[in-house]
Homo-oligomer: A and B are copies of this chain.
Amino acid sequence: MPTPPPPSQPSSSPSLPSSPSSPSAPLTERQEARRRRILQASARLARRGGFDAVQMREVAETSNVALGTLYRYFPSKVHLLVATMQDQLQHMHETLHKRPPQETEAAARVAETLMRAFRALQREPQLADAMVRALNFADRSVSPEVDTVSRLTTAIILDAMGLEGPPTPEQLSAVRVIEHTWHSALITWLSGRASIAQVKIDIETVCRLIDE
Contacts and interface: CB of A to CB of B under 8 A. Distances in A.
Main DSSP-derived SS at the A contact region: helix
A90 to B, nearest CB: 20
Copies of this protein, total: 2
Contact of A183 (B133, B184, B192): B184
A2 interface: yes
A159 interface: no
B191 A177 contact: no
A99 interface: no
A206 B139 CA distance: 25
Interface of A: 2, 4-5, 8, 47-49, 51, 125-126, 129, 133, 136-140, 142-143, 146-147, 150, 173-174, 176-177, 179-181, 183-185, 187-188, 191-193, 198, 201-202, 205-206, 208-209, 212
